Structure 1
């Protein structure tokens, strides 16, 4: 049987199968509405708008098509209403989130396999010399683009409405989330649901919705089919794992709960009621820290929400072993370790193609555009968010690196106040490492840290960089692994 060519949707939505006679229907693995083999909301509706995995898949798929991220906007946050009083802003966002977040009944109808199909359907249907799977990380996507391969996450984020919720009641959040997880898992036995209640990173939204990190405990069938159809013979697969840990309450049953998260920039001890940082965070979110009474933890060092389930890795290892594809594991103890190693890899890759490798862009959160980075011949360094410790890591890396002639900085405003965020002077200090050009995006800086800017802002900035064509030929996987070992081993990066 000859496979029909595939036409990807320009917005990254499920594509269409195209024959010589034209469009003949939905592509293999896509579904619209409720179908016989599953029901519930489509993947585009399920995965949280603006979540890291969603943005990174969209950016990677566009880069592999030679398209930038000019059409990517941003999710609703408190920063979308900068001129209104705090109470009015919270009420407006609550109404907006109520329309965007899933209802309790919709969450119970989610089909995780359908979400996996939505992810793979965003990629062009052609043969690839490999694939990158695992934890959501901007540098992982830059690595995948340099290799010319797709990136697929080991899980996804859902946001579900919490009627009568309160930002300062983590026990009530856990009870609501456990009920949601139980209903979700009746139709999705092969997922683990990690609930994250973090006012420090989500502000007042933590009292309007619950955040569920859904992690596959096996390789999804959609991923296996995609890899079987799209990988070249003997093509390697890279599995990237975030090794950060966090205190967790896990009573079994496939649902676990954590208060706070590493991406907040705070430590677990900061989420106790007597913490000055927590009091500041709760007060700014409209809560009262005297109500704060989180449940006891059952594991002090469980993998945090961005980790990869052991069953997912085992499934990937078994699948690649049966198919004859080498599997390589890359484990990073902190996000900045992979960011630094990938930036050094890019510099070497660009220079091997005759380019200078002396122009750096420091991206942050959703502010990235892998295609524009490659088009302009830039070295990318990705900060997970605006946390002070992550920005400090970028400074330390720059201090120990060969100087760059230009440094462009794209600081994504977190949208909520917190003592853990870096101030603009620290971002300016990062830009100051440029010998000739030192640029901090003024749009992102305007109203920082409580404003918000869309992903496409990174595209707008990077489009102004001069072209540096042609694009280097794709990096070989063996060369990439060697570069990651050379550049990251001393900082704790494990490459196997």
Structure 2
């Protein structure tokens, strides 16, 4: 179950494809999505004892090592990569196939439904040297020739060159983020749908409406400064006290970021849905006799409470306790173990204050949980807007019996290299075990949402 090296493995879309594909194959999710990485556990244990600066250097080297040479990126073949992505799923008939935005909560929904998901967005890691994370004005045009060659070769892609010196500063030292979005299915996705969808099957379009200000670089090419997390878009272009303190702590050569002016809003690079794909999906489905069902929402975490409530209801229908909450974080999720231990999944995009506030809001309205396990993705730096370990402990205190961090050391967070290996270990340590259920019928999930539509006004469904 190996994805092509042209796309980043250390990314939301890739991680969620691997987690879901392994679930559909009846397997759990290994550390960092690959069983071979389990051998790095002792290395991570040693690195965890090193000074924070050294840990950050190791993180930068490891995460940036995926960067590919510009010449290789220019030769990118989107359909060959799409064929490889489709190839990781079991070849059997499915009542539905999802296509669209990356989303951890929806990954759990697809696992419950027993259906695959094809991502619209992929991250192409570009080798980057000599460009400071704090110099977006230089970064914006650093790869123009490579971008143009990539887009000329792949006319159905839109390129979002994303540059976030707040949350991605360690990776940006060695790698640029080229996120590409499909505007058409392409032959590989079309063939997969034709081969695996049942007659009258459903194509489920997952459409996240998250937007971000961008700078137009060229045709189908935009530059996104900043990204979803602890800072809203405007703060990336201001010189507030939190940013000044952050730049001072990390010895940045500037007092504020000088970014190219934004001239439009566009789908957010990582999570947003490019609407051009919808028409092509609809045309293809009509031609093949498939249905198209839209699931649209405004922000990435909008569906987290819905999926948590659905799982809780589903457990009750199966006569199982639904008193254990598992809080996922970014790419740290495991659908197989979530169902095996009878946990209710609640996905957070990042361990930042807006995500923490949303989680508390969910808990305010939900029946109490006896147990809470909390995963925290570690990106190596104490970025602006990050919620500290003590702030996350307020969630753990809401458990009636016990709350615990799932594989992350609160002392080393947000720079704990062991968390990528210990998250699954924490799930395996839960003594409860339940048989995996048969897939939840799509009609049952749709009826659940219909009956509770007033509770989720930010989520919209409809048949195309």
Q: State the TM-score, normalizing by the size of structure 2.
A: 0.91
Report the CA distance shift for 1:200/1:82 in structure 2 as closer, same or farther (over 3 A): farther
> Within 5 Å, which residues of 2 pair with 1:419-434?
419-434=384-399
Residues 10 and 63, structure 2, Cα contact 8 Å, conserved in 1: no
* Aligned mate of 1:205, from 168, 171, 178: 171
Residues 265 and 389, structure 1, Cα contact 8 Å, conserved in 2: yes
Q: List runs of 5+ in structure 1 lacking aligned partners.
A: 1-11, 14-42
Q: Distance in 2 between matches of 1:66 and 1:171?
A: 47
Which residue number in structure 2 is paired with residue 385 of structure 1? 350
Aligned-CA RMSD value: 2.4
Report the CA distance shift for 1:285/1:158 in structure 2 as closer, same or farther (over 3 A): farther
Secondary structure of 1:360's partner? Answer: strand
1:484 aligns with 2:455: no
Which residue number in structure 2 is paired with residue 127 of structure 1? 93
Q: 1:89: how far off? A: 6.0
Secondary structure of 2:32's partner? Answer: coil
* Aligned mate of 2:143, from 174, 177, 184: 177
Q: 1:358: how far off? A: 2.1
Q: 1:302: how far off? A: 2.3
Q: 1:110: how far off? A: 1.3
Q: 1:456: how far off? A: 4.3
Report the CA distance shift for 1:285/1:73 in structure 2 as closer, same or farther (over 3 A): farther
Moved more, 413-422 or 395-404: 413-422
> Within 5 Å, which residues of 2 pair with 1:154-169?
154-169=120-135
Secondary structure of 1:201's partner? Answer: coil
Residues 60 and 173, structure 2, Cα contact 8 Å, conserved in 1: no
* Aligned mate of 2:287, from 306, 315, 322: 322
Q: 1:384: how far off? A: 0.7
1:413 aligns with 2:378: yes
Q: Distance in 2 between matches of 1:432 and 1:451?
A: 22
Which residue number in structure 2 is paired with residue 20 of structure 1? none
Q: How many residues end up aligned between the 2 structures?
A: 452
Q: State the TM-score, normalizing by the size of structure 1.
A: 0.85
Q: Distance in 1 between matches of 2:297 and 2:409?
A: 29
Q: 1:311: how far off? A: 2.1
Which residue number in structure 2 is paired with residue 312 of structure 1? 277
Which residue number in structure 1 is paired with residue 15 of structure 2? 55
Q: 1:427: how far off? A: 1.5
Secondary structure of 1:123's partner? Answer: coil
Q: 1:98: how far off? A: 6.0
**Deviation sequence 1:421-472 (CA, Å, 0-9, x none):** 1111222111222212222235343401122345443321111223443323
1:348 aligns with 2:313: yes
Q: 1:487: how far off? A: 4.2
Q: 1:81: how far off? A: 7.3
Secondary structure of 2:295's partner? Answer: strand
Q: Distance in 2 between matches of 1:474 and 1:441?
A: 27
Which residue number in structure 2 is paired with residue 117 of structure 1? 83
Q: Distance in 1 between matches of 2:425 and 2:398?
A: 23
Residues 196 and 213, structure 1, Cα contact 8 Å, conserved in 2: yes
Residues 373 and 406, structure 2, Cα contact 8 Å, conserved in 1: yes
1:367 aligns with 2:327: no
Which residue number in structure 2 is paired with residue 435 of structure 1? 400
> Within 5 Å, which residues of 2 pair with 1:62-101?
62-72=22-32, 83-84=50-51, 86=53, 96=62, 99-101=65-67
1:249 aligns with 2:215: yes
Report the CA distance shift for 1:442/1:370 in structure 2 as closer, same or farther (over 3 A): closer
* Aligned mate of 1:192, from 152, 158, 163: 158
